[in-house]
Chain A
Amino acid sequence: MAASTNGHDYKVIGTRPIRHDGVDKVTGRAKYGADYSFPGMLFGKVLRSPHAHALIKSIKVDKARALPGVKAVVTSADLPELADKMEAAGEQAINLAHLSANILARGKALYDGHAIAAVAATSSHIAEEALRLIEVEYELLPPVMSVEDAMKPGAPVLLPTLRNKEDGPDKETNVAAHMQFKRGDVAEGFKAADFVVEREFKTAMVHQGYIEPHNAVGIYSADGHATIYCSTQGTFVVRSLCSAVLGIAEGKIKVVPAEIGGGFGGKTTVYLEPLSVLLSKITGHPVKLVMTRGEVLRATGPTSGSTIRCKMGATKDGKLVAAQCWLAYEAGAYPGSPVGAGAMTIVTPYNIPNILIDAYDVVVNRPKTAAYRAPGATNAAMASETVVDELAEKCGIDPLEFRLKNASAEGTPQTVGPPFKRIGFVETVEAIKNSPHYKSKLTGPNRGRGVASGFWFNVGLQSSATVNIHTDGTVSVVTGSVDIGGTRAAQAMIAAEVLGADINDVRPIVADTDSIGHTDVTGGSRTAFATGWAVYDAAQDALRQLKERVAKTWEKKPEEVAFANGLFSPVSGNGVKPMTLKQLAPRLARTGGPIVGRATVNARGVGPAFATTLVDVEVDPDTGKVKILRVTVAQDVGKAIHPAYVEGQMQGGTAQGIGWALNEEYFYDEKGVLRNTGLLDYRMPTCLDLPEMETIMVEVPTPGHPLGIRGVGEVPIVPPPAAVANAIYRATGVRMLELPMSPPRLMKAMLKKRAAGDSQAAAAD
C-alpha cells in the first residue's frame, strides 16, 4: 500500500522492477564470501576460549604446528601491540588495543568464544584437529555477566586499564562511560503530573541473526599488498581496521565485497579479515576462514542486553510533563554499547518539557557488542513505549490519541541536537488509526491488541558514485555501498530516472576499495539516502555532459538543450531532430570521448525515521505461548524508491522485533558459558511463527534531499517488543517488563496474577 505525497511525476522511482542481482541469487550463482576459492588456498580455524573470564598464562602451539598439513599457528603475539586509547581508524574513533585483543585475546580471555589462536592448514578438517592440539593454560576468574553485577562496588574488573571520567584516573571500573541528558527540571515536571508510572525493564542480549556466517579470504602478495574477499557491510571500514590491526598501510590493502547474506549492523567491524591476511602473510598462500554458527553466536554481534528504569508523568488530560530514565547496557567485553543512542531515542518521539536521562556503558564477560538495526533504540522503546501505554490507560485515553497529543513534530526539540525539521511521526500514528487492521474488531478470549512507536536518527556520512555512459547507451552505476537490502536496484532506478533510461539498461555495480572513492558502511539506514544522493548527483553530472555533447552536435549552447522523457531536444524548436541517450551514446567518441558522471557526498540534513506498529496476539492461557495474529507497521519512508524493498525492510525489521520480543536471548550458564550456540536454541522466528506483515508507507520527504529520501532500514525493529508487550497486557492483564516474553516467563507472570486474584477473592469472602 503506497500513497505518494511527494507530488512528483516519476517514471522509474516508485515502480517495482526485478532487482539486478536477483537472477544470480535465485539460481545460486551469486558469489558469497565462502564461495571464493583460489589456487593453493589454505583453510583457517580459530581456537576459542571455553571460559568467560580467565588469565591466559601460556599458549603452547608446538604440537599443533607439527600436525601434517598445518602451515601456520598464530596468537596475539603475532599482531602488533597497539595503543590502549581512542584513535582514528579511517572515519571512526576506536580503541585499537581493544579491537586487536578482540581479534586475538591478549593476556585475558574475556568471554566464552573469545579468539585465542588461529591455524592455517591444507584442509579445514586438519585445521580443526590442530586446534585440539593447542595447549592453553588458563587461570579462571569470576565471570561478570550482568550490568548489575559489573557495577557493584568490588566487582571483578574485566579491563584493568579502563577508567571513566566520574571515578577518575585511579579507580578500576567496569563502567566505561556515564552520559547524562537533561532538559528542564524533572522534579518540577513530576509535581505537575497527575499520573506517574515508573517501571524497571530488562532486555536480553540478542544476536542480529544474519544467515550467512562471517568469512574472509586473505591473499598477501610478496610485494606487500593484501587483498581481502569478505562479507561485509563496509569495505572501507574493513580496510582501515585491518590496516590498523596489522600495521599495513591502508593503500596496500584492497577489500573486495562479496555478496552479503545479511548483516543488520553486525558486519561493520572485523573478526576474521585480519587473521586471513596474517595467516596468508606467514604461509604465502591465500587463506580462507569461515565461521560456524556457534562461532557467530559466541563471538560476533550481538547487541546489548540492558536494564532500564523509566519514569514518566502526565497530566490527566494526557500531556506528558516529565520523563526520567536510567539505562545501563551491556557493552560486552570492551566498551562501546549503544546506550548513548538508547538514551537519545528513549523519549524523543514525544514533546516533553522536562527530561533527565542517565546512561551507562558497562563491560561484562560477553562478546563485544556490534551494531544491530537502530542500535540501542529497541531496548529503550520497550521501556518508554510500555510506560506510555500504561499512562494512556491511566488517563483513560486511547494509546494512539495519547501519542498524537504528545507527538514530536517539526520544531520539537530533540533530546540532543537541533529541533526536528519536517518529520512524519504523526502521519504514522494517523495511518495506523485509519488502517483496516485498526478498524477491524478483535474478538475472542485471550486476545489483545497493542501499539507502540519508534524513532531512529538515521545517518548521512560519505559516499561516492560514478555513472558511466557506455557506447550502446547503457549505463553502469558504480558505488562502494554493499547491497544488503536491495539498494543496487534503488541506485539503478535513481540513475535511470535522471537519465531517462530503461531500468534494464542500467547496471549497478558494487566496487572494491581500489575502484571507487571512499564510501562509508551500509548502515545507519544511509545507503539509499546518501549513496542514492551521490548517484543522483553523478547522474546529473553525466546528464550535464551529455547536454554539452548534444549542444556541440547541434552547434548550440548547452543551456539551449532541454531534456525530458528521455529525449534531448532544443529549448526552442528549429528543426533539429530530438535525440535519445541511445542515439547519442555511439557518437560520444566523435564529440569528445567517453562520459563519466562523478559525485561524492558528505550527506547532511539526514531525515530521522518514525514507525508505529499495531499487533494482535493470542495467548495460550495454559502454556504462555504467544501467537501473533496480525501485525501492521506504518512508517515514514520519505520517498520509496523501490517500494517492494522498502516494504521488505519494514517487514524484516518487524520480524526481528517480534523475535526479540518473544523468544530470542543469549542464555549463559552460571560459569558464563553460552548454552544456546545454534539456531535450534537461539530461537529466531521462522516463517511459521509470523503472519503476513502488513505495511503502510507514509511518504514525508526529507527536506533538502533531491529525492526526499529518508532511511528506512532500521526503525521498523524499534516498536515491536513494546507493541507485543502492550498486546499481551490487553490479552492477559499482565504487564511484561522483561524480554524475551517467552512462554515460561509469561506463564509465571500469569500464574502469579491468578494467585493474587485468588487471594484477593479469598480476602473478599
Chain B
Amino acid sequence: MHAINYESPKTIAEAVKLLAAHGEKARPLSGGTDLIIQLRAGTRRPEFVVDVKQIPELHRISFSLQHGLHLGAAVSCIELHENADMRRYYPGLTEAAHLIGSLQIQSRASVGGNLCNGSPAGDATPALIALGAKARVVGPNGERIVPVETFITGPGRTVLQPGELLVEFLIDAPAKHSSDAYLRFIPRNEMDIAVVGVGGALTLDLDDDRVVDARIALGAVGPTPIFAAEASKSLIGKKFDAAAIENAARLATSVATPIDDMRGTAEYRRHIVGVLTSRVLTIAAERARHNEQR
C-alpha cells in the first residue's frame, strides 16, 4: 500500500475544507470497509484520507412522525439496526443494513459509505431509493439535496464533486398503512454480495386494498442501482393482487440490464428480479396492512 495522509476533522466545515483543498486526491473515510480494501488492493489511490467519523452530525439518527428521518451518513449499520424507530418505521432499510457484510463489518460500515462507494450492488441503496430518500450534500459552494436514485452515476462513481461530503439522508415519515421491505439473493446464507437486490415500499388503502403509492428499486442488475419507475407506477391505483404483483415484477424485470459475471448470468439475474420483486411487494404489503401509525 502507498503512503497516505490522514486527517480527522471535527466539523462539516473543516471536512469540506480539507476535501476541497485536495480535490480528486482526497477521499472521505467512514467505516472504511470498502475504502481500506480498495487502498490495500490499489484500486483507489487517494493521497489524503479524511476520516469523517468524528463529526457529530454524521452520527445522528433523528426521527419524528412530524419531521421524518434524519439519518447521518456515518451511522453504522449496527447502530441503525439497534435503533427502535428504524426497526419500527423503516424495516426494509433496517434489514438491508443488517445484511451488509458480517456483524463485525456492520459495526464499522455505514449506510452513507455504502452509497458513496458507488457499487450497483450495495444493499442499502435500493432500500433507500424505495423510501424516496434524499441525500444532503455539503460542499465548498453550499449544500444541495440529491435524490438517492440519481446519486450513483456508474460503477464506483457518484454525483459528489471534489470537496463535497454526504452529510445525511432525509426520509419522510411513513404514511399510515405503508411499509417497506428489502430482499437480496445470494448463493450462500451470509457473508455474501447481492446477485440481485430489490427494495420496495408500498402505501395501501385498506378500504378497497388499493395501492396508494409504490416504489420499487433494483440493485446489482445494471451499472447503477435502478429505480423501477414503470413497475412502481403500474401498481398505483390498482388493487393489490396477484395480477398486479406479477405485472409489476414483469415491468421491473424489463428495466434490469444485468451482465454475466461470477455472481450469475444476465438471464438468471433477470429471472431473480421478477422473483424478488414479487416477494418484496408481498412482504411490504403485509407490513403495510399492520402499520397503524398516524
A interface vs B, CB < 8 Å?
125, 128-129, 132, 294, 622-625, 662-663, 667, 675-676, 680-681, 683, 685-686, 688-689, 742-744, 747-748, 751
In the complex, what's the smallest C-beta–C-beta distance from B232 to chain A, in angstroms?
Answer: 22
6 contacts between A and B (CB under 8 A): A128-B1, A662-B187, A667-B262, A683-B192, A685-B188, A686-B190
Please state if A744 and B264 are interface contacts (CB–CB under 8 Å). Answer: yes
Please state if B187 and A688 are interface contacts (CB–CB under 8 Å). Answer: no
Residue total for B at the interface (Cβ-Cβ under 8 A): 24
Q: B-side binding surface: helix, strand, loop or mixed?
A: loop
- Considering the complex, give the chain B residue whose CB is closest to the CB of A662: B187
Residues of B contacting A680 in the complex (Cβ-Cβ under 8 angstroms): 191-193
Residue in B3, B189, B263 whose CB lies within 8 Å of A681 = B263
* B261 is an interface residue with CB less than 8 A from chain A: yes
Residue in B189, B267, B272 whose CB lies within 8 Å of A689 = B189
Residues of B contacting A686 in the complex (Cβ-Cβ under 8 angstroms): 188-191
* B293 is an interface residue with CB less than 8 A from chain A: no
Residues of B contacting A125 in the complex (Cβ-Cβ under 8 angstroms): 1-3
Task: Add 5 more A-B contacts to A625-B185, A686-B188 (CB < 8 A).
Answer: A623-B275, A676-B262, A683-B188, A685-B188, A743-B185
Please state if B187 and A742 are interface contacts (CB–CB under 8 Å). Answer: yes
Give the distance in Å from the alpha carbon of A680 to the alpha carbon of B188 in the complex.
10
Residues of A contacting B185 in the complex (Cβ-Cβ under 8 angstroms): 623, 625, 743
Please state if B263 and A623 are interface contacts (CB–CB under 8 Å). Answer: no
Please state if A675 and B261 are interface contacts (CB–CB under 8 Å). Answer: yes
Give the distance in Å from the alpha carbon of A325 to the alpha carbon of B87 in the complex.
58
A662-B187, A688-B188, A689-B188 are contacts. A129–B267 as well, Cβ < 8 Å?
A: no
Residues of A contacting B263 in the complex (Cβ-Cβ under 8 angstroms): 681
* B265 is an interface residue with CB less than 8 A from chain A: yes
Give the distance in Å from the alpha carbon of A455 to the alpha carbon of B263 in the complex.
33
Residues of B contacting A689 in the complex (Cβ-Cβ under 8 angstroms): 188-190
A662-B187, A688-B189 are contacts. A681–B262 as well, Cβ < 8 Å?
A: yes
Residue in B187, B265, B267, B272 whose CB lies within 8 Å of A683 = B187
Please state if A743 and B193 are interface contacts (CB–CB under 8 Å). Answer: no
Residues of A contacting B1 in the complex (Cβ-Cβ under 8 angstroms): 125, 128
* B60 is an interface residue with CB less than 8 A from chain A: no
- Considering the complex, give the chain A residue whose CB is closest to the CB of B261: A675
A125-B3, A129-B2, A667-B262 are contacts. A744–B188 as well, Cβ < 8 Å?
A: no
Residues of B contacting A294 in the complex (Cβ-Cβ under 8 angstroms): 41
Please state if A625 and B187 are interface contacts (CB–CB under 8 Å). Answer: yes
* Most chain A beta carbons < 10 A, residue from B2, B188, B272: B188
- Considering the complex, give the chain B residue whose CB is closest to the CB of A627: B189
Please state if B268 and A748 are interface contacts (CB–CB under 8 Å). Answer: yes
Residues of A contacting B42 in the complex (Cβ-Cβ under 8 angstroms): 128, 132
Q: List residues of B (242-294) whose CB comes within 8 Å of A's CBs.
A: 261-265, 267-268, 271-272, 275
Residues of A contacting B272 in the complex (Cβ-Cβ under 8 angstroms): 623
Please state if A663 and B262 are interface contacts (CB–CB under 8 Å). Answer: no
Give the distance in Å from the alpha carbon of A663 to the alpha carbon of B263 in the complex.
10
Type the 1/0 row for B154-171, where 1 means its CB is closer than 8 Å to any CB of A.
000000000000000000
Residues of B contacting A748 in the complex (Cβ-Cβ under 8 angstroms): 265, 267-268
Residues of A contacting B187 in the complex (Cβ-Cβ under 8 angstroms): 625, 662-663, 683, 742-743
Give the distance in Å from the alpha carbon of A156 to the alpha carbon of B271 in the complex.
38
In the complex, what's the smallest C-beta–C-beta distance from B102 to chain A, in angstroms?
Answer: 9
Give the distance in Å from the alpha carbon of A685 to the alpha carbon of B193 in the complex.
14
In the complex, what's the smallest C-beta–C-beta distance from A679 to chain B, in angstroms?
Answer: 8
Residues of A contacting B195 in the complex (Cβ-Cβ under 8 angstroms): 743
Type the 1/0 row for B41-71, where 1 means its CB is closer than 8 Å to any CB of A.
1100000000000000000000000000000
Residues of B contacting A747 in the complex (Cβ-Cβ under 8 angstroms): 268, 271
Give the distance in Å from the alpha carbon of A125 to the alpha carbon of B191 in the complex.
28
Please state if B192 and A743 are interface contacts (CB–CB under 8 Å). Answer: no
Please state if A688 and B268 are interface contacts (CB–CB under 8 Å). Answer: no
Type the 1/0 row for B173-192, where 1 means its CB is closer than 8 Å to any CB of A.
00000000000010111111
Give the distance in Å from the alpha carbon of A508 to the alpha carbon of B157 in the complex.
56
Please state if A681 and B188 are interface contacts (CB–CB under 8 Å). Answer: no
Residues of A contacting B192 in the complex (Cβ-Cβ under 8 angstroms): 680, 683
**What 5 A-B pairs are tightest by C-beta distance, nearest first?**
A667-B262, A744-B268, A688-B189, A622-B275, A688-B190
Give the distance in Å from the alpha carbon of A132 to the alpha carbon of B43 in the complex.
13
A622-B275, A688-B189 are contacts. A743–B262 as well, Cβ < 8 Å?
A: no
- Considering the complex, give the chain A residue whose CB is closest to the CB of B1: A125
Give the distance in Å from the alpha carbon of A25 to the alpha carbon of B190 in the complex.
26
In the complex, what's the smallest C-beta–C-beta distance from A533 to chain B, in angstroms?
Answer: 41
- Considering the complex, give the chain A residue whose CB is closest to the CB of B37: A678
Give the distance in Å from the alpha carbon of A689 to the alpha carbon of B187 in the complex.
10
Give the distance in Å from the alpha carbon of A689 to the alpha carbon of B264 in the complex.
19
Residues of A contacting B190 in the complex (Cβ-Cβ under 8 angstroms): 686, 688-689
Please state if B264 and A743 are interface contacts (CB–CB under 8 Å). Answer: yes
Residues of A contacting B267 in the complex (Cβ-Cβ under 8 angstroms): 744, 748
Residues of B contacting A743 in the complex (Cβ-Cβ under 8 angstroms): 185, 187, 195, 264, 268
Give the distance in Å from the alpha carbon of A763 to the alpha carbon of B192 in the complex.
43
Residues of B contacting A675 in the complex (Cβ-Cβ under 8 angstroms): 261-262
In the complex, what's the smallest C-beta–C-beta distance from B193 to chain A, in angstroms?
Answer: 6
Give the distance in Å from the alpha carbon of A420 to the alpha carbon of B107 in the complex.
57
- Considering the complex, give the chain A residue whose CB is closest to the CB of B41: A294
In the complex, what's the smallest C-beta–C-beta distance from B251 to chain A, in angstroms?
Answer: 18
Q: List residues of B (1-17) whose CB comes within 8 Å of A's CBs.
A: 1-3
A125-B3, A686-B188, A744-B265 are contacts. A681–B275 as well, Cβ < 8 Å?
A: no
Residues of B contacting A683 in the complex (Cβ-Cβ under 8 angstroms): 187-188, 192
Residues of A contacting B275 in the complex (Cβ-Cβ under 8 angstroms): 622-623
Residues of B contacting A663 in the complex (Cβ-Cβ under 8 angstroms): 187-188
Give the distance in Å from the alpha carbon of A743 to the alpha carbon of B265 in the complex.
10
In the complex, what's the smallest C-beta–C-beta distance from B233 to chain A, in angstroms?
Answer: 25
Give the distance in Å from the alpha carbon of A622 to the alpha carbon of B263 in the complex.
17
* Most chain A beta carbons < 10 A, residue from B3, B261, B268: B268
- Considering the complex, give the chain B residue whose CB is closest to the CB of A124: B1
Residues of A contacting B189 in the complex (Cβ-Cβ under 8 angstroms): 686, 688-689
In the complex, what's the smallest C-beta–C-beta distance from A521 to chain B, in angstroms?
Answer: 32
Give the distance in Å from the alpha carbon of A625 to the alpha carbon of B187 in the complex.
7
* Most chain A beta carbons < 10 A, residue from B1, B262, B263: B262
Give the distance in Å from the alpha carbon of A624 to the alpha carbon of B272 in the complex.
10
In the complex, what's the smallest C-beta–C-beta distance from A594 to chain B, in angstroms?
Answer: 51
In the complex, what's the smallest C-beta–C-beta distance from A654 to chain B, in angstroms?
Answer: 17
Residues of A contacting B265 in the complex (Cβ-Cβ under 8 angstroms): 744, 748
